[in-house]
Amino acid sequence: MLTREKESFQSYVVRFQREDFCPNKCGTMLQLLLWCHICRKHLYLCRKSTDCGVRQINVHEKEDLVLDCELNWHKLSEGLTNYSFYRVWGSNSETLVYKGKRPTLTKPLVGPEDAGTYRCELGTERHGPSTIIHFEVTVLPQRIIVETTSKSSTFVTQTSMFVTRSSTSGTLAEIWHDLSLTVGRAEYLKLENRLRGRLIGLLIWGFVVLIIGILTVVLCFRPGKVIDSMNTWFSADRAGLP
């Protein structure tokens, strides 16, 4: 039992040393630790190289430049003071641009004159700078946003139908939407005309069939009267001739 507890404790110690003890990969960190042999908290100085590298920043003209100096272990460290941003010039001269608690520097609407080298430094209360980061800023040409408005004409040809849709503005999706509505209405009108023609044809054929039926009934049930009427009609026509 005691052996297992020792092994478990050793694994925790190894994990702490690997992940939590002095997590800073660069810079100077003051870590608050509890020393077991005296059961008191003390600040441990995790001192590593203060140079945390150079970052390449590309920004387009007329856009905002943002330089971020914060590292993931800054909020865990004790005794930190202010972030200072400098504009670095030639011949080892530099100008202080910002100093305060905010870890970022923002310059709106940058121009070609803002390109160059910047330096960020995070201070401590007693042990000099905690971290130093350099930024190489390149200002690219302004982005060109092209807004296109094109004239669009769409023609749809079918039997006895010609649909024209012309638009001087708007998107292709709107044009196709309007075109589909136009074609739908044309198809509806075409179908309506076709049904109306069929209905009229059926009425005409019904009327013809009705007349034929009436004549058939008359000829079948009263043939004598029909023949007498026809003879009378022909006699009257002959009498009227000169």
Is-contact 93 45, C-beta < 8 A?
A: no
133 and 59 housed in the same domain: yes
Whichever domain contains 97, its CATH number is 2.60.40.10
- Domain total of the chain: 2
Enumerate residues 6+ apart whose C-beta is below 8 A from 142. Answer: 60, 61, 62
* pLDDT for the residue numbered 70: 94
Is residue 60 in a domain?
yes
Number of residues assigned to the chain: 242
Is residue 5 in a domain?
no
DSSP-assigned letters across all residues of 165-229? EEESSS-HHHHHHHHHHHHHHHHHHHHHHHHHHHHHHHHHHHHHHHHHHHHHHHHHH-HHHHHHH
Is residue 1 in a domain?
no
Q: Which pTM was predicted?
A: 0.51
* pLDDT for the residue numbered 64: 97
134 and 180 housed in the same domain: no
* pLDDT for the residue numbered 167: 41
Is residue 180 in a domain?
yes
170 and 201 housed in the same domain: yes
Query: Of 140, 174, 208, which closes a domain?
Result: 140
Is residue 99 in a domain?
yes
Enumerate residues 6+ apart whose C-beta is below 8 A from 68. Answer: 103, 104
Is residue 196 in a domain?
yes
159 and 192 housed in the same domain: yes
* pLDDT for the residue numbered 91: 79
Q: What gap in Å lies between CA 112 and CA 60, rounded to an integer?
A: 9
Is residue 218 in a domain?
yes
135 and 156 housed in the same domain: no
Q: Which domain holds residue 59?
A: 50-140
Q: What gap in Å lies between CA 181 and CA 187, rounded to an integer?
A: 10
Q: What gap in Å lies between CA 52 and CA 73, rounded to an integer?
A: 13
* pLDDT for the residue numbered 156: 43
Q: What gap in Å lies between CA 114 and CA 66, rounded to an integer?
A: 12
* pLDDT for the residue numbered 76: 85
119 and 163 housed in the same domain: no
* pLDDT for the residue numbered 183: 55
168 and 222 housed in the same domain: yes
63 and 117 housed in the same domain: yes
Query: Of 140, 166, 187, which closes a domain?
Result: 140
Is-contact 80 128, C-beta < 8 A?
A: no
- Residue pLDDT tens, the chain, 242 long: 666 665 565 555 445 555 566 778 888 777 766 556 556 676 767 888 889 999 999 999 999 999 999 999 898 888 899 999 999 998 789 999 999 999 999 999 999 999 999 999 999 988 789 999 999 999 999 998 877 665 544 444 444 433 344 444 455 556 555 655 565 666 767 777 888 888 888 889 888 888 888 877 777 776 666 566 667 766 665 555 55
Is residue 28 in a domain?
no
156 and 216 housed in the same domain: yes
3-state secondary structure 47-74: ECCCEEEEEEEEEECCCCEEEECCCCCH
Query: Of 79, 113, 140, which closes a domain?
Result: 140
182 and 224 housed in the same domain: yes
68 and 135 housed in the same domain: yes
168 and 119 housed in the same domain: no
